[in-house]
Structure 1
Amino acid sequence: MSRWFRWAIAGGDRFLMAISLAGCKEIFVSKWHLRLGMVAVGAIFVGSLPQPDSAEIAQAEEPPRKRNWQNVTTTELPRIKDLKRSAKTLKDWLAQMQEPAVEAPIQVTGVQLNRTEFGLEIGLETEAGKPLQIDATKFRVEGNSLVADIPNAVLALPNVQEFNADKPTGEIANVRVRQMDATRIRVTVTGNHALPTEEVSLKTGELTYSLNPEGEVPEEELVVTGTGQRGYFIPDATTATRTDTPLRDIPQSIQVVPRQVIEDQKILRISDAVRNVSGVTPQGGYSGLTDNYNIRGFTTYDNLRDGYYAQDNLVNPTNIERIEVLKGPASVLYGQFEPGGVVNYVTKKPLSEPYYFAEFTAGSFSTYRPSIDLSGPLNTDKTLLYRLNAAYESSGSFIDFVDQKQFSIAPSLTYKIGDATSLTLQYEYLNADRTYYDGLPPDPSVFKAPISRFLGEPGDRFKFESHTIFLALNHRFNENLRLRSAFTTELRDTEEPGEFRPNSIAADGRTVLRRYAAGPGYYRNDALQNDLISNFNTGAIQHQLLLGLEWNQYTYGYDYLRSSVDLTPSIDLFNPVYGASPPPIFDEASQRDRFHRTTIGLYAQDQITLLPNLKLLVGGRYDFIHRKNRSQPLDASGNDPIGDATEERLYNGAFSPRVGIVYQPIPPISLYASYSRSFNPSGSRTVDGSLLPPERGTQYEVGIRGETLNGKLSATLSAYEIIKANVATVDTNNTDFSIAAGEVKSRGIEFDVVGEILPGWNVIASAFVNDAFVSRDNSLPVGDRLVNAPSQGASLWTTYEIQRGSLKGLGFGAGVFFVGDREAELPNTFEIPSYVRADSAVYYKRDRWKVGLNFKNLTSTQYYESQGYYLRPGAPFSVLGTVSVNF
């Protein structure tokens, strides 16, 4: 039946030709309109046909014009004996059902590079000269590369799996043609450190398309970073699906903070970059050295690093290429995470072209920070690549007695074993030594004290050291099947000789009760993940199937040594006198705790293209979890074990599903809806020593995502509801323990926009409203808001760089960040006020040099962030000056 249908359409096209030849110019019947009618009739017999491509729609909307019929070729109509007979057996009928309702992908059998008078022409040869479906409106610029995606096509090159040509011209470093998925190939033309200014064209059959962007191209060289992408809008992400997927095809809210934003805002603390994303509020971690986030009302203490589990850890911004924030449950691919979302730090990777970058930043509070980023090939055939990122920072603080020194170095190697196999090895070392400072206790009295107030002792220190090793193997068996296997290990040690911690403020409103804490800690996390990715078709339906197996082993231990407020000297909030001596003993249940967790996860995911504009995502994961916890009492000195150790073993298993659908009524618009669940065994303890029960979350989300036709600006509007049981929150009677808040809900609407408005004018902005509250509980008031979950927030950051004239290279940036009021504790007894902070920047680029000034908190707004239980004041007006060079 499908062949009859295509024959009818072909006949309709020839009927239009006959009308035009007859000179009936006053009758306008487009090919697209006729096909629509045929589809409506044919749907009764054979179902729906594929949607027309954008070129056909554009042709339909054009007014009638005179056609040149000299180059038109006619095709002989099929004879009756050649037509497919009706099915007479079940076997024949099933065979016909498996026939694709769309045309089979066209084979590209050859790629030719031809020098022209004005530049370079890339010729694509196809089987039997069949025309390719090319939509020039989808051509785009990524960093110093020109990119063209061609749908419904497969590479069938003799003897090779992809086409790769180095240095075809003086301006062009590389031309690459590769298979992206089962029916899509990509042409990438990469310039030597900058976009090619010569004409680059793509020719298929008798048609030629220009790959160069419209308008004037900046003449200055563009910095090539880890993915080769520059600018504010990144079209693809990997966090949501573990595959390189266009954002417009993902049925879940995901936002990307690119490297360019990190550079423009001069981010020294990686959590500051995530302020640009709706529904995300940074929440300081232990001693200010780790980064946690509140996402959609839920605080997550674990993050991802290149798609692999990484507990809250110090992150060096110099080694980060971009940040991907997946909002909503991520358990279907990553296992144990909060239902609000997860932050994935994507690190820089080795480059195939030499790249050398050095930067020095200095500013307020005695801040000094040199850094380098070096990359390139180590051999002539570019099969061995390297990258080295390193940074050192020494800084004081607006808070009395607080200072820090930290150093990080991250070398990496990529070895291209062959055309289909690569091996990547990464290592990162981090070392930090700083004053121990968590913040101020949540009490109205602290707002009357200066933000510089330090309530510990000047000698309180905290030391941190970590080693991270990552080894990844990628192998492509053929254009439709590939394997990705990676192993990562993370080792971390902390040292706490002893510090005075503010606990609460007495009834007089000025006496700060303190406790004394000490004890070393260590952490180790090992993970092995194997992903098998296959592209195939079942009839007209395209699939990208992901099958995965993950093994993870997590070990964490520390000596819990505490002295009570009765033994620890207090301090005056408004007239502090320092110099207190540590208490003689640890009188609060001193013990040595060890936690061990082993997880095995099996997961599957299928990205299904039902129609070119209708996509389905289904997936599920099952986790097997074994936990072993051991606790050994210590004597009052904190050195010697006493009594018997207690040990408990816990076994958990859970299934986490996800299903989502994306409908694109027109190419730039995506409508989506999704359902997903999360699972997270609780690691928190109540004051009596028992573990909280596992947490389960369920999310419903709908949204709309739109992109401009030039692919440089994107906007997302989403609405969601999350239901979660057994949320762990701080026990205000004893801040070292937690309580379960029963069932909670989070509902909200979010809006994000990012990209380039005009050449040189970039923007990243967000806004959200959120209602996260206790919906059922036996002890907490129903309706109380969750801790550190603002009811609204917004951000706007925009930059403009002059593109031509004598001031070319001069740029300006400005932004505002608004965070609504938040509750500091459960039950709700203390509210953290809302605030608005304004920043700005000015910079100048000339050749390979760049100088800039960043001004933060222009009005010295007094505001406070949350660090779990404590309040941490934000920095007043500060300035950072930067000089950088790349060569």
Structure 2
Amino acid sequence: MCGVMVNRLVQIVIFSGISLLVAPHVLAESAIAETKRKTNNDQYSLTTEILHINDIEQPATTVDEWIAQIDQSQVQVTGVQVIATDVGLEITLETSEPLETPTTSIVGNALIADIPNAVLALPDNNVFQQVNPVEGIALVSVTTLPNNRVRVVITGVDAPPTANLSVAPSGLVLAVPRTEAAEDEIQIVVTGQQQEGYVVDNAATATRTDTPLRDIPQSIQVVPQQVLEEQQIIRVRDALRNVSGIGEGNSFGNSRETYVIRGFFTTDVLRNGFLERSNFRAFRETANLERVEILKGPASVLYGNLEPGGIVNLVTKVPLAEPRYSFELQAGSFGTIRPSIDLTGPLNTDRTLRYRLNAAYERSDDFRDFDQDIERIFVAPVLSWQVSDRTDLIFELEYLRDERPFDRGIIAFGDGIADIPFDRILGEPDDVVRLEEFSAALRLNHQLDENWTLRNGVRFFTTDNSFRFARVDTLDEATGELTRSDWSDNESSFWNYALQTSIQGQFSTGALEHTLLVGVDLFRLTDTFDNRSSIEPIEPPPPINIFAPEYGLGDRPSRDDLTDIFRFEDKIDNLGIYLQDQITVTNSLKFLLGGRFDIINQNSSFNGEESEQQEQAFTPRLGIVYQPLEPLSLYASFSQSFTPNSGTTVEGDLLSPERGTQYEVGMRGELFDGRLTANLAAYNLTKRNIAVTDPNNIDFSIAIGEQRSRGIELDVIGEISPGWNIIASYAHTDAEVTEDGGSSLEGNQLADVPRNAASLWTSYEIQRGDLQGLGFGVGLFFAGDRSGNLENDYEIPSYVRTDASIFYRRDSWRAAINFKNIFDVDYIQNAGFGRTSNPGAPFTVLGSIAVEF
């Protein structure tokens, strides 16, 4: 028995090597242009046949046999018949053996059926088309797609058709329009968003409308579901490594995710287009994410007061009409264990009421030398109700509880990083942060007629946080003694309330075609921050030697024994009215015009001292797209941002609002018949009246004048050949302080912004044969030298991190092993408070096994 197993293993190793060399070239010959997909509306269903062990074809023992098996693994469609019948239309695909059950979707007026493991082998041509076969049907087409698929597209004149699908031993029959399904028929049902692979053609973040990326005059990138899955991403910050011009900022003791986009720090994130604003919140959860969209540059024209660098929009999964149940278990280094579920399906017989439930539990030891664990619970139920063919409702809830060590990281030494182990802590082992979050959202979409749509949404989000830590202070580099100024115990609460109403319409004025969007936003943020610290007669934490630390020498006082150093309360009300017009002059020339008027009222209280201010602002955006060739878009844009300052001076006064202005030019190209896209952008972005930490009073802020960021960015994503995918980026960023009243900060580089950064992830999955479903991935992530703080008194060194993965999927099962930081490189992930920085994780292994049925 052992000998047979060893022989089988040798065969797999040999043939997997041959597959990696030969398969891309063999499969590329059968690939033709794939029909454009409108991803936000694409939907699908999937029925999986149970594979019995006796049905498995035995592996080849020679290369000739192996090649023969590859050729025989695809079912050939040798004929297509389109016949008008008494009840409509009958489409027959003729084959010599049964076809697999297709995946179906609806795009516009087209019903699409994708058949796996099949190729067209027609006598005259490998593309079949018939125009206007019967009344109400504009086109029937049958084509071959990459990855050994055959696509049938039935396009209706006024609406997408319906059909019954009958599987027969000698082919496939689609009957249009739909009749009563017989027992052996499989009814085509639209069930949800179609898996989109690496390329996403449309996104809503940039325009709040479902717009092709090629028509957007601003840099926008999408990290799709397949990348999240292949890289086993459980933190949003790891997804953003794949995108140019974005990195992680000060994580406040490694307790939250913040971002530096085009040189500028931000804590703001969108979730399904709703703003989540909180200075202190847990790491965003990925268990219910469909994809991540990143719009770079000012987005205030649509979303109100935002930082000018850009915005991250987390797009979550929606309920499906066809039952699907997925279970996954991830486990790996540092005691990591993470089970998760994804359950969805209908709740009534006509499938108009649907649900989805995503949940995850995570527990792990931190790679840093702490005693306590990381523990995390996440639950996200969703209900959708298709009230009528024109109206639908979506109700979403999310709950998250997160507890982990509070960790300022390691300290700077001279103009670099202290030469100490990267797992050494400089606080106390019982420093901790606890966060609890809850959100609820209701979205209503109503189609007034075929051209006009009304959208309404309301969302509530709250987070309660507590932080307990020993505050690090100054380092004596001669002795290695690090003083710690006080015991700190902070509590904060944030509440966000958002209301969105918009109407979108399409119309023409002469030769011009318009997509008009008019909307009103109401947003309220309230937050409280209660900081308690130890002062005399309470003894501060004793100093710690960074080279020979001793912990637990001081007595940590209870919260009730600490003095209320300051209490801060803030309330911001924001009313915004916006208008946007996407104008198509010709097929190759398009304009984007938009403007927003904001009224912001801000009331703050600092240790009982009240202050208030009202601000009004108009923020425009102008853009032009020119497409000299269908796969090439050239664009230019001008945009501005506006946001109130949450910082206060040492006197307790609010700082004046910040403003940003960006000029951007770029080009977006589509290669390999749209399977691969590249976006090249150049920009100049300025931000004025910025709040930073007061160097003389670290709990307060000052306005330092103006900062400028300019650079060049390149993003590439897509499918090079069937099964071979790539996502890559490069950014050159020059971000500096340009005006500060003549202070020493002028000319300094902005913190945590590498001048050069790049990423590459590529994967290949074997498409057919005995090893079909086996895949490999490798990634490189580079960040150049960067300043650790605004004073530029120490530098964070560059690094290259190498990742890899092996995965295998067959039928409803998927297993994977990911290796992160393979060469165990010591690197700094982000700069922190003062002269502290957070190190990245060492060599890490994360395995997973998932089943879906």
Give TM class, smaller chain. Answer: 0.7 to 0.9
Task: Report matched runs for 1:652-663 at 5 Å.
Answer: 652-663=615-626
Work out which of the residue numbers 171, 174, 177 in structure 1 matches 2:101: 171
Work out which of the residue numbers 361, 365, 369 in structure 2 matches 1:392: 361
Flag the 1:567–1:251 CA change in 2: closer, same or farther, 3 A: same
Query: 1:140–1:711: 8 Å Cα contact kept in structure 2?
Result: no
Task: Report matched runs for 1:121-270 at 5 Å.
Answer: 138-140=35-37, 171-172=101-102, 176=106, 178=108, 186-190=109-113, 203-205=130-132, 210-217=141-148, 227-270=193-236
> Could you tell me how far 1:567 is from its partner in structure 2?
3.0
Work out which of the residue numbers 433, 438, 457 in structure 2 matches 1:467: 438
Query: 1:822–1:834: 8 Å Cα contact kept in structure 2?
Result: yes
> Could you tell me how far 1:282 is from its partner in structure 2?
1.7
Q: Show the counterpart of 2:253.
A: 287
How many pairs align?
711
Query: 2:751–2:831: 8 Å Cα contact kept in structure 1?
Result: no
Work out which of the residue numbers 564, 568, 589 in structure 1 matches 2:541: 568
Q: Show the counterpart of 1:723.
A: 686
Q: Provide Cα deviations, 1:22-64, integer angstroms capped at 9, x if missing partner.
A: xxxxxxxxxxxxxxxxxxxxxxxxxxxxxxxxxxxxxxxxxxx
Query: 1:730–1:825: 8 Å Cα contact kept in structure 2?
Result: no
Flag the 1:250–1:216 CA change in 2: closer, same or farther, 3 A: closer
Q: In structure 1, the residue corresponding to 2:438 is in which secondary structure? A: strand
The worse-fitting range, judged by mean Cα deviation, of 789-798 and 845-854 is 845-854
Q: Show the counterpart of 1:582.
A: 556
Q: Show the counterpart of 1:328.
A: 297
Q: Show the counterpart of 1:842.
A: 806
Query: 2:611–2:653: 8 Å Cα contact kept in structure 1?
Result: no
Matched, 1:700 2:663: yes
Structure 1: unaligned runs, 5 residues or longer:
1-134, 147-162, 179-185, 633-644
Query: 1:518–1:562: 8 Å Cα contact kept in structure 2?
Result: yes
Once residues 562 and 202 of structure 1 are traced to their aligned partners in structure 2, the CA distance between those partners, rounded to angstroms, is: 75
Flag the 1:680–1:409 CA change in 2: closer, same or farther, 3 A: same
Query: 1:145–1:189: 8 Å Cα contact kept in structure 2?
Result: no
Once residues 230 and 175 of structure 1 are traced to their aligned partners in structure 2, the CA distance between those partners, rounded to angstroms, is: 12
Task: Report matched runs for 1:49-64 at 5 Å.
Answer: none
Matched, 1:591 2:566: yes
> Could you tell me how far 1:508 is from its partner in structure 2?
2.9
Work out which of the residue numbers 407, 422, 425 in structure 1 matches 2:392: 422
Query: 2:357–2:381: 8 Å Cα contact kept in structure 1?
Result: yes
Q: Show the counterpart of 2:276.
A: 310
Once residues 383 and 729 of structure 1 are traced to their aligned partners in structure 2, the CA distance between those partners, rounded to angstroms, is: 51
Once residues 192 and 423 of structure 2 are traced to their aligned partners in structure 1, the CA distance between those partners, rounded to angstroms, is: 39
Once residues 351 and 668 of structure 1 are traced to their aligned partners in structure 2, the CA distance between those partners, rounded to angstroms, is: 33
Q: In structure 2, the residue corresponding to 1:272 is in which secondary structure? A: helix
Flag the 1:139–1:699 CA change in 2: closer, same or farther, 3 A: closer
Query: 1:226–1:347: 8 Å Cα contact kept in structure 2?
Result: no
> Could you tell me how far 1:843 is from its partner in structure 2?
1.0
Q: Show the counterpart of 1:534.
A: 505
Q: Show the counterpart of 1:553.
A: 524
Q: Show the counterpart of 2:752.
A: 788
Query: 1:145–1:195: 8 Å Cα contact kept in structure 2?
Result: no
> Could you tell me how far 1:342 is from its partner in structure 2?
0.7
Flag the 1:378–1:592 CA change in 2: closer, same or farther, 3 A: same
> Could you tell me how far 1:868 is from its partner in structure 2?
3.8
Flag the 1:211–1:291 CA change in 2: closer, same or farther, 3 A: farther
Q: Show the counterpart of 2:67.
A: none
The worse-fitting range, judged by mean Cα deviation, of 818-827 and 529-538 is 818-827
| One-letter amino acid of the counterpart of residue 522, structure 1 | S
Work out which of the residue numbers 729, 732, 741 in structure 2 matches 1:766: 729
| One-letter amino acid of the counterpart of residue 374, structure 2 | Q
Work out which of the residue numbers 757, 782, 785 in structure 2 matches 1:821: 785
Matched, 1:883 2:810: no
The worse-fitting range, judged by mean Cα deviation, of 731-740 and 712-721 is 731-740
Once residues 208 and 550 of structure 1 are traced to their aligned partners in structure 2, the CA distance between those partners, rounded to angstroms, is: 42
Once residues 629 and 660 of structure 2 are traced to their aligned partners in structure 1, the CA distance between those partners, rounded to angstroms, is: 34
Q: Provide Cα deviations, 1:693-745, integer angstroms capped at 9, x if missing partner.
A: 21111000000000125221100000000111122223344443333221111
Flag the 1:518–1:690 CA change in 2: closer, same or farther, 3 A: same
Matched, 1:609 2:584: yes
Work out which of the residue numbers 652, 662, 665 in structure 1 matches 2:628: 665
Higher relative contact order (CA 8 A, sep 6+): 2
Work out which of the residue numbers 838, 844, 848 in structure 2 matches 1:872: 838
| One-letter amino acid of the counterpart of residue 578, structure 1 | Y
Q: In structure 2, the residue corresponding to 1:318 is in which secondary structure? A: coil
Query: 2:726–2:763: 8 Å Cα contact kept in structure 1?
Result: yes
> Could you tell me how far 1:355 is from its partner in structure 2?
1.5
Q: Provide Cα deviations, 1:483-508, integer angstroms capped at 9, x if missing partner.
A: 01000000111133x32122331353
| One-letter amino acid of the counterpart of residue 538, structure 1 | T
Task: Report matched runs for 1:330-369 at 5 Å.
Answer: 330-369=299-338
Once residues 299 and 202 of structure 2 are traced to their aligned partners in structure 1, the CA distance between those partners, rounded to angstroms, is: 18
The worse-fitting range, judged by mean Cα deviation, of 357-366 and 861-870 is 861-870
Work out which of the residue numbers 664, 677, 686 in structure 1 matches 2:649: 686
The structure number with the bigger radius of gyration is 1
Query: 1:780–1:826: 8 Å Cα contact kept in structure 2?
Result: no
| One-letter amino acid of the counterpart of residue 101, structure 2 | E
Q: Show the counterpart of 1:478.
A: 449
More strand by share: 2
| One-letter amino acid of the counterpart of residue 398, structure 2 | E
Once residues 266 and 241 of structure 1 are traced to their aligned partners in structure 2, the CA distance between those partners, rounded to angstroms, is: 30
> Could you tell me how far 1:215 is from its partner in structure 2?
4.6
Query: 1:456–1:502: 8 Å Cα contact kept in structure 2?
Result: yes
The worse-fitting range, judged by mean Cα deviation, of 208-217 and 684-693 is 208-217
Flag the 1:830–1:718 CA change in 2: closer, same or farther, 3 A: same
Work out which of the residue numbers 761, 765, 772 in structure 2 matches 1:808: 772
> Could you tell me how far 1:187 is from its partner in structure 2?
1.6
Once residues 191 and 646 of structure 1 are traced to their aligned partners in structure 2, the CA distance between those partners, rounded to angstroms, is: 65
Once residues 620 and 208 of structure 1 are traced to their aligned partners in structure 2, the CA distance between those partners, rounded to angstroms, is: 41
Q: In structure 1, the residue corresponding to 2:764 is in which secondary structure? A: strand
Once residues 691 and 287 of structure 1 are traced to their aligned partners in structure 2, the CA distance between those partners, rounded to angstroms, is: 26
| One-letter amino acid of the counterpart of residue 544, structure 2 | I
| One-letter amino acid of the counterpart of residue 570, structure 1 | P
Flag the 1:454–1:136 CA change in 2: closer, same or farther, 3 A: closer
Q: Show the counterpart of 1:383.
A: 352
Query: 1:325–1:344: 8 Å Cα contact kept in structure 2?
Result: yes
| One-letter amino acid of the counterpart of residue 364, structure 2 | S
